[in-house]
């Protein structure tokens, strides 16, 4: 199977849309046998935790297009944003380095968790330049400074990648992912799913999937489990990102259909975020444990909440007789060897608090 089924379906996209191969695709699709028989549903997991032996998870798919564009534009430095333990900022740093680009991460506070500590250490070890800001206003001022600095150092502005990589260009990674799923359906690996469940942080994942599923002719609906506050996740954001990404594709190849946002096929679920972004809930902690029993390595900020939504739907009987896919978006590669012996004191001082304050009580791993 090709790694770019989107380009196979619409070959004229190849010219105008830069792409750099970073991910190991297609990712496996696996049936969750025990959970299926216990709930009368036909349940699968899409193993995007395995997108890369460097660092898996959903971000690699977006970075194939984002860094493809940055390289095409002759960038030397990429500038991106996230919460302190952002998987996106880490993945950007790791893959930018692989392509010989510098990376600068502009990070904001989040609740303390083990995964935040690990990601900060890994990013630092990978040579990412990390900055911590207490407010969005300070981030904006920081961006002005980085722009000036980029111009002075590289003779050009840094390539700016928005939070979570969810620009229309980044979202293409998940349009392609939907075509990949469609190819797996066509090859008989699973029946056409009724529903796909995924975490919604900055929406590139769920919106890209929705757009790609429609364009590939599947009737599959998307259940987006909200894990962030508006404006990062909202129906309005979904509509805007869908239409901007669609316009990008249709503009690059008029054969790509011009689609209306499918209001009835896209469902935003608000019941699993709990007290807020990065705050673990009882349901997400249980889902993380349940995932571990099934051989999945989840965490409490994104995939624990999304899997809690998936489990809730399955256990309530809502998926009985249906086919549903849980999209596992979190890296499962153990990078403990890379950060063994790393000393957090080497990080800029504002990050020390993530190592000195206790992790939240529901964070057991
Ligand atoms: C592990 C994980 N899952 C899901 C998401 C959500 O993806 P998106 O930002 O595309 O909504 C993110 C990032 O934000 C993530 O790091």
User: Would the CB of 119 count as within 6 Å of ligand 1?
Assistant: no
Distances (CA, A) of 40 to 46, 294, 296, 319: 19, 17, 21, 8
> Domain for residue 354, yes or no?
no
User: Would the CB of 199 count as within 6 Å of ligand 1?
Assistant: yes
Ligand 1 centroid to 203 CA: how many Å? 8
- Give the closest residue to 92 by CA, choosing from 75, 102, 83: 102
| pLDDT for position 178 | 98
Say if residues 126 and 98 touch (Cβ distance below 8 Å).
no
| pLDDT for position 365 | 57
> Domain for residue 364, yes or no?
no
Q: Verify that 133 and 97 share a domain, yes or no.
A: yes
Find the CATH number of the domain harbouring 51. 3.40.50.1100
| pLDDT for position 3 | 80
Q: Verify that 184 and 207 share a domain, yes or no.
A: yes
Structure tokens at 148: 């000036």
DSSP states along 252-309: H-TTS------TTTEEEE-TT-TTSTT---HHHHHHHHHHHHTT----TTTHHHHHHH
- Nearest atom (ligand 1) to Cα of 87: 16
- Give the closest residue to 143 by CA, choosing from 126, 167, 163: 163
Q: Which domain holds residue 154?
A: 63-164
| pLDDT for position 1 | 59
Q: Verify that 316 and 207 share a domain, yes or no.
A: yes
For residues 240 and 171, what is the distance between their CA atoms, to the nearest angstrom? 12
User: Would the CB of 208 count as within 6 Å of ligand 1?
Assistant: no
User: Would the CB of 164 count as within 6 Å of ligand 1?
Assistant: yes
Indicate the DSSP class of residue 9.
H
- How confident is the prediction along the chain (365 residues), in pLDDT tens digits per residue? 568 999 999 999 999 999 999 999 999 999 999 999 999 999 999 999 999 999 999 999 999 999 999 999 999 999 999 999 999 999 999 999 999 999 999 999 999 999 999 999 999 999 999 999 999 999 999 999 999 999 999 999 999 999 999 999 999 999 999 999 999 999 999 999 999 999 999 999 999 999 999 999 999 999 999 999 999 999 999 999 999 999 999 999 999 999 999 999 999 999 999 999 999 999 999 999 999 999 999 999 999 999 999 999 999 999 999 999 999 999 999 999 999 999 999 999 999 999 999 999 999 65
Q: Verify that 114 and 178 share a domain, yes or no.
A: no
| pLDDT for position 242 | 99
User: Helix or strand or coil: residue 18?
Assistant: coil
- Of 89, 164, 203, 225, which is best to mutate to test ligand 1, by the most ligand atoms within 8 angstroms of its C-beta? 164
Q: Verify that 242 and 256 share a domain, yes or no.
A: yes
Q: Verify that 149 and 174 share a domain, yes or no.
A: no
Ligand 1 centroid to 44 CA: how many Å? 19
Q: Verify that 50 and 157 share a domain, yes or no.
A: no
| pLDDT for position 254 | 98
> Domain for residue 333, yes or no?
no
User: Locate tokens 């690996």: which residue?
Assistant: 189
Task: Give the DSSP H or E segment for 221.
Answer: strand 221-226
For residues 121 and 94, what is the distance between their CA atoms, to the nearest angstrom? 12
């Amino acid at each position: 199977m090709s790694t770019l089924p989107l380009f196979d379906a619409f070959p004229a996209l190849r010219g105008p849309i830069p792409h750099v191969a970073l991910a190991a695709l297609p990712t496996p699709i696996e049936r969750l046998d025990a959970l299926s028989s216990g709930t009368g549903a036909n349940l699968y997991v899409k193993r995007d935790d395995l997108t890369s032996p460097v660092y898996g998870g959903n971000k690699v798919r977006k970075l194939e297009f984002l860094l493809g564009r940055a390289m095409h534009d002759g960038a030397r430095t990429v500038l991106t944003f996230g919460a302190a333990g952002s998987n996106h900022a880490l993945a950007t740093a790791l893959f930018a380095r692989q392509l010989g680009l510098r990376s600068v991460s502009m990070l904001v506070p989040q609740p303390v968790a083990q995964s935040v500590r690990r990601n900060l250490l890994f990013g630092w070890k990978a040579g990412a330049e990390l900055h911590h800001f207490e407010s969005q206003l300070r981030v904006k001022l920081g961006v002005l400074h980085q722009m000036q600095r980029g111009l002075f150092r590289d003779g050009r502005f840094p390539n700016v990648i928005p939070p979570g990589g969810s620009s229309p260009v980044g979202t293409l990674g998940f349009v392609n992912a939907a075509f990949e799923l469609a190819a797996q359906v066509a090859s008989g690996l699973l029946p056409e799913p009724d529903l796909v469940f995924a975490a919604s942080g900055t929406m590139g994942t769920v919106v890209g999937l929705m757009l790609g599923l429609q364009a590939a002719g599947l009737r599959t609906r998307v259940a987006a489990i909200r894990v962030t506050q508006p404006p990062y996740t909202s129906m309005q954001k979904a509509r805007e990102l869908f239409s901007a990404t669609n316009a990008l594709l249709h503009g690059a190849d008029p054969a790509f259909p011009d689609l209306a946002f499918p209001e009835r096929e896209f469902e935003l679920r608000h019941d699993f975020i709990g007290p807020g972004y990065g705050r673990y809930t009882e349901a997400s902690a249980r889902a993380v444990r349940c995932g571990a029993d099934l051989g999945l390595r989840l965490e409490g900020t994104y995939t624990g909440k999304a899997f809690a939504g998936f489990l809730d739907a399955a256990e309530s009987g809502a998926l009985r007789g249906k086919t549903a896919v849980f999209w596992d978006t979190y890296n499962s590669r153990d990078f403990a060897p890379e950060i063994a012996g790393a000393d957090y004191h080497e990080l800029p001082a504002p990050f020390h608090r993530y190592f000195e304050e206790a992790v939240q009580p529901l964070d057991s791993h």
